[in-house]
A and B are shown apart, each in its own frame.
Chain A
């Protein structure tokens, strides 16, 4: 599946749980929200090979 975060993209092979995919690309699951087809996903959702997921950073501030 394809994972998009800020201006970066990752391709992961096979099926992944959302939270595992987030960890795999080196992020903390608590710090992003996963969106597929405009819908928010919980961490246990299984992503299929051809899914495209956008990660939205939740941390802001200065």
Chain B
């Protein structure tokens, strides 16, 4: 198959766009798609300070790479959850993924990169916390999501970033939408968007610049661009429902190219047309009495309640 633009050998064929591109034209196309999404959804501009949440995986490193290439003020945040560290062995999932991020960041000297090490800062790893709280029963993913959301917002606020960017791709978004539709979780459906504006009570603006690109395309971009990312999954991702939904959507895609794209873009259009308006009864938020981040719970936020027994989690470690 030949590249549409130069007729050299193509490296990828995107059936949903009827577009095959070569090693040189593919990354160019990809970067342009990201730029278009940023503009189309008014995500941010050159004066914004963007905090990119990086996990060491292909999507977030690709996002960071593209934003830097486009000349945005994009700085990284890696949250070390301490996954795999509990066995006492270095080289667990968190260690490996952190190394990938550090190696990537080293290629961009002068670009700021923050690491929040859960164990060093709060005294426990994710599996340790999840093991002792009700919310962590069975799988640590719910606690993990809570921690990541909290830390990302905290670092964004402390560092005076105007935007928080995550590497969610179209497959992630389509799988989330599919899952939410299966259960008709109308509240979640209404809030699923490429941009979540900042809230007055202290949530930073959130954007997903890769939301129109297939997971296959972000992987291809990472490979063609020589981005060294972590192939292995988080050990807790095994058997996740979202993976099952992705599989189902990919079966559909196999038979009708473009099905995932239509499913998601159709949703965004319907959303824009007002089909899914957010429930008007606004939940009143107020600052957490410990950390000051917005919460609907009285007193401590859900994050601070994780650490409740210790009160001052960070400071009492030797």
0 or 1 for each of A18-33: is its CB under 8 Å from B? (1 = yes)? 0000000000111101
Q: Does B106 contact A (CB under 8 A)?
A: no
Q: Is B216 a contact of A61 with CB atoms below 8 Å?
A: no
Chain A residue, CB-CB nearest to B242: A61
0 or 1 for each of B251-270: is its CB under 8 Å from A? (1 = yes)? 10110000000000000000
Prevailing SS type, chain B contact patch: helix
Known interface pairs A33-B219, A40-B12, A42-B11. Does A61 touch B246 (Cβ–Cβ under 8 Å)?
Answer: yes
Which B17-42 residues sit within 8 Å CB-CB of chain A?
Answer: 20, 23
Which A31-62 residues sit within 8 Å CB-CB of chain B?
Answer: 31, 33, 35, 39-45, 56-62
Chain B residue, CB-CB nearest to A23: B254
Q: Is B254 a contact of A35 with CB atoms below 8 Å?
A: no
Known interface pairs A40-B11, A40-B223, A40-B224. Does A58 touch B216 (Cβ–Cβ under 8 Å)?
Answer: yes
Q: Which A residues touch B243, using CB under 8 A?
A: 59, 61-62
Q: How large is the interface on B (under 10, 10 to 19, 20 to 34, 35 or more residues)?
A: 35 or more
0 or 1 for each of B40-65: is its CB under 8 Å from A? (1 = yes)? 00000000000000000111000000
Q: Is B10 a contact of A42 with CB atoms below 8 Å?
A: yes
Give the number of A-B contacts (CB < 8 Å): 77
A29 smallest CB distance to B (angstroms):
7
Binds A, one of B113-121, B130-138, B231-239: B231-239
Q: Which A residues touch B23, using CB under 8 A?
A: 39-40
Q: Which B residues touch A41, using CB under 8 A?
A: 11
Q: Which A residues touch B162, using CB under 8 A?
A: none
Q: Which B residues touch A33, using CB under 8 A?
A: 12, 216, 219-220, 223
Q: Is A30 a contact of B12 with CB atoms below 8 Å?
A: no
Q: Which residue among A39, A41, A45, A59 has the maximum number of chain B CB atoms within 10 Å of its CB?
A: A59
Which B251-310 residues sit within 8 Å CB-CB of chain A?
Answer: 251, 253-254
Q: Is A59 a contact of B1 with CB atoms below 8 Å?
A: no
Known interface pairs A30-B253, A35-B223, A44-B1. Does A62 touch B10 (Cβ–Cβ under 8 Å)?
Answer: no
Partner of B58, one of A29, A45, A60: A60
Q: Is A43 a contact of B13 with CB atoms below 8 Å?
A: yes
Partner of A62, one of B171, B219, B233, B247: B233
Q: Is A62 a contact of B175 with CB atoms below 8 Å?
A: no
Q: Which residue among B1, B20, B219, B246 has the maximum number of chain A CB atoms within 10 Å of its CB?
A: B219
Q: Does B182 contact A (CB under 8 A)?
A: no
Q: Is B13 a contact of A62 with CB atoms below 8 Å?
A: no
Q: Is B11 a contact of A30 with CB atoms below 8 Å?
A: no
Q: Which residue among B175, B216, B233 has the maximum number of chain A CB atoms within 10 Å of its CB?
A: B216
Known interface pairs A59-B215, A61-B243. Does A28 touch B251 (Cβ–Cβ under 8 Å)?
Answer: yes
B168 smallest CB distance to A (angstroms):
9
30 pairs of residues in contact across A and B, judged by CB atoms under 8 Å:
A28-B251, A28-B254, A29-B254, A30-B253, A30-B254, A31-B216, A31-B247, A33-B12, A33-B220, A35-B223, A39-B23, A40-B220, A40-B224, A42-B1, A42-B11, A42-B12, A42-B20, A43-B13, A45-B1, A56-B219, A58-B218, A58-B219, A58-B220, A59-B250, A60-B237, A61-B175, A61-B243, A62-B233, A62-B234, A62-B243
